[in-house]
Amino acid sequence: MAFERVGVVGLGTMGAGIAEVFARAGLRVLGVEADAEALARGRSLLEKSTARALDKGRLTAQEREAILGRVTLTTSREDLREADLVVEAIPEHLELKLRLFADLDRICKPETVLATNTSSLPVTAIAAATGRPGRVVGLHFFNPAPVMRLVEVVRTVLSDPGVVGAVEGLAERLGKTAVTVGDRAGFVANRLLLPYLNHAAVLLELGVATRDGIDAVMRQGAGLPMGPFELLDLIGLDTAYEIMEVLYDETRDRRHAPSPLLRELVTAGRLGRKSQGGFYTGEPPQPQDAR
Ligand code: 3HC
């Protein structure tokens, strides 16, 4: 199973990062967005990320041009018909994904492998929405995709083991470590990471420590690259909240109940870096605000 032409549907933070990862590894990428405005945003994310690498001396101007030259952008899904692999990175709404996968199943050649970058939705349900459930897997990248070394390959009971093996091989070609995981809410990373982040918001709301205090403890005491509130801002508070809802729904474990502070900030539109205001940007909430 050779993967040379890859489609990425959805060019938000994750999709643009994933497109960059493939292009850096020498694959030809077709990036698909819903309209011209979203496409321009995706192009700008790709340009900024590669410009940053150029500034840091990690890429030459020639390499950057070659990477950008391997990415073609389109608003037409029909252009994906010859892709060997399509990775979906659209918003986390199951109905939207089910419709997209049914569409991809119709458009793409029968051998195309269809992958979802979902962070917590059931890959089995997405696979079952197609006529090729054996060729549907999860391919879960981490933010920022060009930097983080791991991908979770999500296999379902319907997955063809040959397809899972081929996708693991592809991850290595991308310079990533692949860990294959089962189709349970949050897989492994988010099942462990998100309850921790959610609990940081609970501690802040209880007034146990300040935002900066909690972040300092986890950065300097636990040796993590970012404190929980910095990481929540990076991931997006809406994404974190949605994942907690999925975890809570599946497990009914009250330790997974989404934090009310997180819900309040999401309702207020404070979503983190992408909205210029989360725990850090804009006016960050302090414990006394939440009580
Ligand atoms: N896009 C592209 N490249 C980026 C980037 C971005 N947004 N942010 C940083 N980088 C690159 C830099 O260019 C630099 O590359 P270089 O070493 O080749 O020059 C490298 O990353 C390190 O960046 P900096 O020196 O500027 O910054 P830091 O040393 O502070 O590292 C970090 C930044 C890599 C983001 C680090 O803080 C980190 O690892 N944070 C934790 C991230 C994390 O946990 N991600 C997983 C979240 S969970 C998830 O994504 C799952 C989802 O389903 C919710």
| DSSP per-residue codes, 17-65 | HHHHHHHHTT-EEEEE-SSHHHHHHHHHHHHHHHHHHHHTTSS-HHHHH
Q: Kindly tell me if the per-residue pLDDT of 1 is higher than 90.
A: no
For 270-289, write each residue's pLDDT tens digit.
Answer: 999 988 789 997 654 554 44
Q: What is the pLDDT of residue 289?
A: 44
Of the listed 49, 92, 140, 205, which one is catalytic? 140
| Average pLDDT value for residue range 237-258 | 94
Closest C-alpha to ligand 1, atom 36: 225
By mean pLDDT, which of 92-106, 175-189, 220-234, 265-279 is the weakest? 265-279
> What top-level class would CATH report for the domain 190-283?
mainly alpha
Closest C-alpha to ligand 1, atom 6: 144
Collect all residues with Cβ–Cβ distance below 8 Å to 278 and sequence separation of at least 6. 229, 232, 233, 236, 237, 265, 270, 271, 272, 284
| Ligand 1 atom, smallest distance to 14 CA | 50
Q: What is the pTM of this model?
A: 0.93
CA of 163 to the centre of ligand 1 (A): 29
Taking domain 5-181, whether its CATH number is 3.30.43.10 is answered by no
Residue 256 three-state SS: helix
CA of 129 to the centre of ligand 1 (A): 34
CA distance 266 to 287: 17
**Could you give the residue range(s) of every CATH 3.40.50.720 domain in the chain?**
5-181
CA of 145 to the centre of ligand 1 (A): 8
120 given a catalytic annotation: no
By mean pLDDT, which of 31-40, 92-101, 174-183, 272-281 is the weakest? 272-281
Q: CB of 56 closer than 6 A to ligand 1?
A: yes
| ipTM exceeding 0.95, yes/no | no
What's the angle, vertex CA 85, arms to CA 82 and CA 86, rounded to 5? 95
Q: What is the pLDDT of residue 287?
A: 45
152 given a catalytic annotation: yes
Q: Would you place residue 290 in the very low, low, confident or very high pLDDT band (cuts 50, 70, 90)?
A: very low
For 102-152, write each residue's pLDDT tens digit.
Answer: 999 999 999 999 999 999 899 999 999 999 999 999 999 999 999 999 999
**Could you give the residue range(s) of every CATH 1.10.1040.10 domain in the chain?**
190-283
CA of 148 to the centre of ligand 1 (A): 7
245 given a catalytic annotation: no
Q: Is 32 left (phi over 0), alpha (psi -120 to 50) or beta?
A: beta
- Reduce the secondary structure of 152-174 to three states and give it as a string: EEECCCCCCHHHHHHHHHHHHHC
Of 84, 82, 75, residue with least CA distance to 10: 75
Of the listed 49, 117, 120, 190, which one is catalytic? 190
Strand bridging mode 28-32 / 71-74: parallel
Note whether 154 and 137 are within 8 A (CB).
Answer: yes
Closest C-alpha to ligand 1, atom 19: 56
Q: CB of 48 closer than 6 A to ligand 1?
A: no
Q: What is the pLDDT of residue 282?
A: 64
Q: CB of 54 closer than 6 A to ligand 1?
A: no
